[in-house]
């Protein structure tokens, strides 16, 4: 069978459909608009991912979850159970989709997949910390508490308002034999119950005015302490957030 010349093959496969009107030519502005819309979509997706990651970090700070691993295995277990896993699992597909979206750009597709994913995760974490350190989420939380935030207001009230699950932070206002009174960041007074048989690795050399964090179990308005630590510049969370509480 005689082979057709290359020029004829190209003409049959490309030029002929164009001449027959089967291929519609697009003006240059059409592709420019498509590229612009695609870029805008990628930017919006990145902003949404940064918002979600920064909100997760904001939640960890609001509820002082950073401190839990410092209380040993019990604290680590509580740390893992206190994480907002629903939001964390929501962030994972956002990262995967962003990887797919940016794969068309040369600075991404020319690199191995694992590198681009690590880059996106690192960018999301760093950007999330930067956003969380601003008053952005605190402002939205304030609007949510006043019920002036129709969209995501319930989300902020559920996750953003510190709960009385297992941690309390405050300044000591009174010390008795087996009890401490501390004033929290919102002005609330909490009684800290310390059983005589309890021993704490950091000791119990506290004085009125010290700022402490207590890990324990709430019983009414008091908390039975499993662990107590004094807060200073050496055991603050790695990225202290804005505090409007």
> φ, ψ for residue 192 (rounded to 5)?
-105, 115
55 with 117, same domain? yes
Do the domain assignments include residue 45? yes
Do the domain assignments include residue 240? no
Which pTM value belongs to this model? 0.73
Q: What is the pLDDT of residues 176-216, one digit of tens each?
A: 877 888 887 767 778 888 876 565 655 567 888 888 888 88
Do the domain assignments include residue 43? yes
Residue range(s) defining the domain that contains residue 188? 167-230
48 with 125, same domain? yes
126 with 39, same domain? yes
Do the domain assignments include residue 180? yes
Do the domain assignments include residue 238? no
124 with 197, same domain? no
126 with 41, same domain? yes
What's the CATH code of the domain at 181? 2.40.50.320
Do the domain assignments include residue 61? yes
93 with 174, same domain? no
Do the domain assignments include residue 121? yes
The whole-number pLDDT of residue 238 equals 47
Do the domain assignments include residue 18? no
The whole-number pLDDT of residue 181 equals 85
53 with 107, same domain? yes
DSSP secondary structure of the chain: -PPPPHHHHHIIIIIHHHHTT-S----HHHHHHHHHHHHHHHHHHHHHHHHHHHHHHHHHHHTTGGGGGGGHHHHHHHHHHHS-HHHHHHHHHHHHHHHHHHTTSHHHHTS-HHHHHHHHHHHHHHHHHHHHTSSHHHHHHHHHHTT--TTTHHHHHHHTSPPSSSEEEEEEEEE-SSEEEEEETTS-EEEEE--TT---TT-S---TT-EEEEEEEEETTEEEEEEEEE--TTSS-SSPPP---
127 with 53, same domain? yes
33 with 119, same domain? yes
119 with 33, same domain? yes
The whole-number pLDDT of residue 234 equals 47
Q: Count up the domains in the chain and report the number.
A: 2
37 with 95, same domain? yes
127 with 174, same domain? no
Query: What residue ranges of the chain have pLDDT lower than 50?
Result: 1, 234, 238-245
């Amino acid at each position: 069978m005689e082979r057709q010349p290359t020029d004829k093959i190209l003409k049959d496969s490309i030029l002929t459909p164009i001449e027959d009107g089967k291929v519609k030519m697009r003006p240059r502005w059409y592709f420019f608009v498509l590229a612009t819309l695609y870029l805008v979509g990628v930017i919006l997706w990145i902003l949404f991912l940064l918002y979600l990651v920064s909100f997760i970090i904001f939640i960890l700070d609001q509820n002082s979850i950073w401190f839990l691993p410092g209380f040993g295995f019990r604290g680590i277990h509580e740390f893992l159970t206190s994480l907002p896993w629903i939001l964390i699992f929501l962030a994972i597909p956002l990262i995967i989709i962003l990887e797919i979206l940016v794969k068309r750009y040369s600075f991404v597709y020319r690199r191995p997949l694992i590198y681009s994913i690590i880059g996106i995760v690192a960018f999301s974490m760093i950007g999330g910390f930067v956003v969380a350190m601003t008053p952005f989420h605190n402002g939205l939380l304030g609007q949510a508490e006043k019920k002036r935030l129709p969209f995501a207001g319930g989300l902020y009230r559920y996750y953003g308002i510190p709960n009385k699950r297992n941690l309390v932070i405050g300044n000591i206002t009174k010390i008795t034999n087996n009890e401490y009174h501390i004033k929290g960041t919102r002005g609330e007074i909490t009684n800290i119950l310390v059983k005589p048989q309890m021993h704490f690795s950091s000791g119990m050399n506290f004085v009125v005015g010290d700022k402490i964090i207590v890990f324990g179990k709430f019983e009414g308005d008091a908390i039975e302490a499993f662990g107590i630590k004094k807060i200073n510049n050496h055991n603050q969370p790695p990225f202290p957030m804005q505090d409007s509480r």
